[in-house]
Amino acid sequence: MEFALEFTPDLLVVFLTLFVLEVVLGVDNVIFISILAGKLPQEQQARARTLGLTLAMLMRIVLVLFAGWIITLQDDLFHVFGLGFSGRDLILIAGGLFLLYKAVHEIHQRLEGEDDHGSAAGAKATFGAVIAQILALDLVFSLDSVITAVGMTSNLVVIISVVVLSFALMLFAARHIFTFVNKHPTVKMLALAFLVLIGVFLIADGFGVHIDKALIYGPMAFAIFVEALNLIAAARRRRRGGTTTDTVQLHSGYTKEEEAEAVRRSGS
């Protein structure tokens, strides 16, 4: 690994490519963090998002500095029926299973769970528990990101610069993504479906089935495009009719007023 920085066309291409990859992974992080932060009291949600993203950035930088050790995680530790499993594989499988569990659990809670509205019956997530879950997924995303980055360049200055810039962008966008996801129930369900898809991708990668990332993010981008058209069409119908339409209300531990206040605080 090297710290020298000499601008060349090849290095610029690597920088831009890594930046795009980090932003894409960063959006995954923001969606997951936003959904988890939404389980906290409204006054803690913004702090959880900021702290979660900041810790994710620091974790990624630390892993970059230990890139030599990270590479050794790709060596097989044991074999099962002729299939080798490395430390990286085990982390990806565990992370994918965790992501699948959380996404499916959240879908169930949002659609068929109980609205406890802050009562003691529905145990609220604690700030520490949410941050711990965020860190667990940050580790999985960071590991995959660092291995990809190190495979493209050995220049630590480039990798760290990309990480810092991409996370600065994500910190700025986090509150807007949080507000948008919480305002539109269909977007929240779509985001959870994306997390299921990413969880399957991580598990498959852990078992040595390498799926091109374009096959994952391409359909996700198309789904977002279709939903954007749906939202635009719905907004136009409301404007022409001069009416407002109540969206489907997902189950939540908070009242409508409490969730609206959390969204308002996020946008302020």
Quote the mean pLDDT of the chain: 76
pLDDT of residue 247: 61
In a domain, 1, yes or no: no
What distance in Å separates the CA atoms of residue 141 and residue 139, rounded to the nearest whole number?
6
* 122 band by pLDDT with thresholds 50, 70 and 90: very low
In a domain, 3, yes or no: no
pLDDT of residue 251: 62
Residues in the chain: 268
Instruction: Count CB-CB contacts under 10 A for residue 146.
Output: 24
Alpha carbon 18 to chain centroid, angstroms:
17
pLDDT of residue 244: 61
pLDDT in tens, 21-51: 777 767 777 777 777 777 788 788 888 888 8
* 121 band by pLDDT with thresholds 50, 70 and 90: very low
Got the DSSP string for 122-164?
SPPPPHHHHHHHHHHHHHHHHHHHHHHHHHH--BHHHHHHHHH
* 156 band by pLDDT with thresholds 50, 70 and 90: confident
Across the range 60-84, mean pLDDT stands at 79
In a domain, 138, yes or no: yes
How many domains would you assign to the chain? 1
In a domain, 102, yes or no: yes
pLDDT in tens, 12-23: 777 787 777 777
| Domain with 108 in it | 9-267
In a domain, 64, yes or no: yes
In a domain, 245, yes or no: yes
Which backbone phi and psi does 170 adopt, to 5 degrees? -65, -35
Residue 212 confidence (pLDDT) above 70:
yes
Which backbone phi and psi does 254 adopt, to 5 degrees? -120, 155
pLDDT of residue 254: 47
pLDDT in tens, 215-267: 777 888 888 889 889 888 888 888 887 766 656 666 655 445 555 555 555 44
Residue 190 confidence (pLDDT) above 60:
yes
pLDDT of residue 92: 83
Which has the higher per-residue pLDDT, 127 or 151? 127
In a domain, 234, yes or no: yes
In a domain, 2, yes or no: no
